[in-house]
Chain A
Amino acid sequence: MAQDHIFDILQKELEGKELSPKGEEVGRIISVGDGVVQIEGLPNAVFSEMVEITRWPGDLNTSATRALVLNLEEYTVGAVVLGEDSKIQEGDLVRRTGKVLSVPVGESLLGRAVNPLGVPLDGKGSIAGKETLPIERPAPGVLDRQSVNTSLATGIKVIDAAIPIGRGQRELIIGDRQIGKTALVEDIILNQLNEPAETRPICVYVAIGQRASKVAQLVGELEERGAMTYTIVVMASASDPASLWFVAPFAGCSMAEYFRDKGKDVLIVYDDLSKHAWAWRQLALLLRRPPGREAYPGDVFYLHSRLLERAAKLSREKGGGSLTALPIVETQLGDVSSYIPTNVISITDGQIYLESDLFSKGQRPAVNIGLSVSRVGSAAQSKAMKKVASQLKLDLAQYQELAAFVQFAQDLDPATKKRIERGSRITELLKQGQFGVLPMEEQVCVLFAANQGVLDETPVEKVRDFEKRLLEYLRNNGKKVLKTIRESKDLSEETQEQLQQLFHGFT
């Protein structure tokens, strides 16, 4: 239909029937530098509108450069160039498009790696479908939401047990560089393979200022394991202009919202928001906005709050979809009290704190359970996990309190010694290598075994091997029990007895 219409217009144009020229609002570039242009004219341009910069009369072989209007001043308009600015000259013509910056959305994006404007980067051809959504959209209102009530399985024991995440929650992942933040979210994305296809969340990974090689590796790993079928990767690499870094999370969020509004569950990872804040600081300073603390503009809090507020569990009337956000923030030398980390901590519903000391001690993932918290996830935790996690958290808390005395273990009373030994085994049990995600029922069995003291006789260094063998044994001999836990999501007394018998048989 649309093609017929365009054909008609073309025919009329070519036949000379449609000769009347149409006036358009234009402006001229008066200055360009560092990805920011100042434009004279465009008196009716609107905030967040896309404009096109071309040479006039222009060359038919060169396409227009797009820019995003961010500053509307009395006589000029400030815009950030979405792409290469080296070819823009003073005096170039700027045309209005009348559209706010939008990105392509839809099923055809699944399995694809695109840039923040929706341009494919993976060489798999153009994106089919013409549906678009603006990058800036209002967050769902209070009446359109409901409380988080379904858990998002991460496959990571320490998170699922102690810091559970619910679908629709915003959970910050915070830690120093090279500490396993990206590896953690990669595992969470991979773990969705363990979910039934009908309830499996769509995953959107937004890379902001990451090395292209690192993202390529991640895409390769996801593809290899079959996780790209439900994943979209939005990449603004380190070599892309700051404007694309700025746009990336909003574009990724709109792509995710398409599925959320269709009633599906979506998981979005922003890797990472520190770099996003840097990009916004650079653009804001170039746009001559007044700098505030650490030279960030005054609206850097609002920048992230309006982005993360779009994560929600929608009400049944709105389709019941959810958007879970996992923003990542990089700290410097573990300082969580600097500007951006404190901002994002206060916006999100909890944080997973990764600690360098734990990482160097070989604790992977290096999650500091004491400093990590999930404010809403426990409401969505399965009954089975709740039952094993409560005892586990108690044992761990007691261990952490007594951990200082570990070196004097010889002089301790037997009860304290037992607690320390149990704690050290649980700590060892919570170690999990990359790509070693476990489904909920297997996690429950392993943690139940720890609670029941099955590990107490095993030397600490052999705990992981013990766990591996136990899981192997359960997969072969306890299929029925595993199925019961998976389906009922509960650990009834009968199941507990069956498990104890299985443990007895194993040991």
Chain B
Amino acid sequence: MSKKTRTYARVLLGALSHASEKEAAGIARRFKFLLQKRGDVRILSAVVREFQRLWEERKGKVASVVSAKELPLGSALEQELKRRGYRPRKEYDKELIGGTAVFLGKSYLVDNSIRGKLQRIQKLVQSL
């Protein structure tokens, strides 16, 4: 991702942070014109993706907790993540079979799911 993309995303974030819903629509339209004027429309999707990431992170980094079944509200895991400054976001995926996997931001995974364990065992067996 280029610096330009990141700069556009940050500018957009700054403009939208305190805007009302009505103002936001105008800002988005003007932002599109700005990109057109500067000949950068081709990076629009990259800017939007980066903006989404920044928007989600503005109140702290997101930790996605993926589990096979719905976790109880205020679980120990949730509490621990909050204590460490993460904003827990719950997701469900039956494919995990059981257990949970936690994505810390976009660059760290703690996989404690049954499927993850099976995959690790599969890898061990294949390396024999």
Contacts and interface: CB of A to CB of B under 8 A. Distances in A.
A75 B54 CA distance: 13
B128 A3 contact: yes
Interface stretch (A39-47, A375-383, A460-468): A39-47
A9 B115 contact: no
A57 B107 contact: no
Nearest to B105: A41
A93 B93 contact: no
Interface residues of B, number: 31
Nearest to B111: A21
Interface string A16-47: 00010111111110100000000011110000
Nearest to B66: A57
A26 B124 contact: no
A43 B106 CA distance: 10
Contact of B120 (A13, A26, A40, A41): A13
Interface string B17-61: 000000000000000000000000000000001000000000000
Contact of A60 (B3, B118, B127): B118
A23 B119 CA distance: 15
Given A6-B127, A57-B93, A28 B106 contact: yes
A10 interface: yes
B10 interface: no
Interface residues of A, number: 28
A22 B112 CA distance: 8
A457 interface: no
A76 interface: yes
A13 B111 CA distance: 14
A21 B107 contact: no
B109 A75 contact: no
B121 interface: yes
Contacts of B110: 21-24
B106 A41 contact: yes
Contacts of A9: 124
Contacts of B103: 26
A74 B124 contact: no
Given A21-B111, A43-B107, A57-B95, 6 more contacts: A6-B124, A19-B112, A25-B107, A30-B1, A57-B93, A58-B119
